[in-house]
């Protein structure tokens, strides 16, 4: 496969043709914040946190969906981008009922880490305080819609890795919700295999193991990428 040369944050680097800017940056140890991205499944560019500036492009581009090309010049840490990312995170906090102090994922939450990363110290928007359900019908896991950021990780992991497609997204805008099967309680979803991959992929406390303490919520998401690689290349040893 051909190799292309590009510049990211004034640093000259190379990457294989066909990879995304996000992958090229990660390979060069350049950090670009993300939320909906998780290694091992396809990207959808839902969160827009990884937006970057590409010289010659009028619009900001999501790094996870933008393929590299020869001579590309990318900036991921401008004042403009930092402002956009902070606004996105602030809006995420205002849309749902994210109260970190009483969340089971407190200290192990990617949204929490992202808020620190972008420098968010308060939410300048009015909280919507939506009336969100908690689905505790499953024997092993719980879905708390109050914590969901609609990243669709659970949908993609269940579809692409487990092959069950239990999860999907219903509704539009702030009324959107993650649903199981045809909008039935999770415990009644016939397609669910109870594998727990969706819980492993969730970046917040929206999906968690029943009875788990906060200290037990640290997740090894590298397992998802390992499963994808193992099945694709028949490499079952880490």
137-165: pLDDT as tens digits? 999 999 999 999 999 999 999 999 999 99
* pLDDT score recorded for residue 15: 96
The conformation of residue 65, written as its DSSP 8-state character, comes to T
Contact between residue 168 and residue 155 where contact means Cβ atoms under 8 Å apart:
yes
| Residue-wise DSSP of 79-133 | HHHHHHHHHHHHHHHHHTT--GGG-TTTTS-HHHHHHHHTT--S--S--------
C-alpha count within 13 angstroms, C-beta hemisphere, residue 144: 19
Tokens describing residue 16: 């294989």
Element at 74 (helix H, strand E): strand 73-75
Cβ-based neighbour number of residue 181 at 10 Å: 17
Answer yes or no: pTM beyond 0.95.
Answer: no
Write down the residue that tokens 């292309």 correspond to. 4
CB within 8 Å of 140: residues ≥ 6 apart:
194, 196, 209, 210
Residues of the chain with pLDDT under 70: 1, 235-238
pLDDT at 105: 93
What pLDDT, on the 0 to 100 scale, is given for residue 238?
A: 58
Parts of the chain belonging to CATH 3.30.70.20:
106-222
Q: Are 18 and 1 in contact (CB under 8 A)?
A: yes
Domain 3-77, classified CATH 3.10.20.740, yes or no: yes
The label of the residue with tokens 């690689």 reads 229
DSSP characters over 12-59 = EEEEETT-BHHHHHHHTT-----SS--TTS-----S-TTEEEETT-SS
The fold for domain 106-222 equals: Alpha-Beta Plaits (3.30.70)
Delimit the CATH 3.10.20.740 region(s) of the chain: 3-77
Give bridge partners of residue 54 from the DSSP assignment.
74
The answer to whether residues 148 and 96 touch, using CB atoms and an 8 Å cutoff, is: yes
């Amino acid at each position: 496969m051909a190799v292309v040369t590009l510049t990211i944050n004034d640093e000259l680097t190379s990457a294989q043709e066909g990879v995304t800017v996000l992958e090229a940056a990660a390979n060069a140890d350049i950090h670009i914040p993300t939320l909906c991205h998780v290694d091992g499944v396809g990207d959808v560019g839902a969160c827009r946190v990884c937006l970057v500036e590409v010289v010659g492009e009028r619009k900001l581009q999501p790094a996870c969906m933008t393929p590299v090309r020869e001579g590309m010049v990318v900036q991921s840490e401008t004042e403009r981008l930092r402002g956009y990312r902070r606004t996105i995170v602030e809006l995420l906090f205002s849309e749902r009922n994210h109260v970190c102090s009483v969340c089971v994922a407190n200290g192990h939450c990617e949204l929490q880490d992202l808020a620190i990363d972008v420098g968010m110290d308060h939410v300048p928007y009015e909280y919507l305080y939506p009336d969100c359900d908690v689905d505790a019908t499953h024997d092993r896991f719980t879905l708390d819609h109050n914590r969901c950021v609609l990243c669709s990780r659970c949908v993609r992991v269940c579809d692409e890795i487990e092959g069950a497609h239990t999860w999907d997204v219903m509704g539009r805008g702030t009324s959107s919700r993650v649903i199981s099967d045809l909008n039935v309680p999770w415990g009644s979803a016939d397609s669910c295999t109870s594998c727990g991959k969706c819980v492993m992929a969730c970046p917040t406390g929206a999906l968690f193991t029943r009875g788990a303490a906060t200290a037990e919520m640290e997740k090894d998401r590298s397992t998802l990428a390992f499963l994808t690689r193992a099945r694709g290349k028949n490499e079952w040893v880490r």
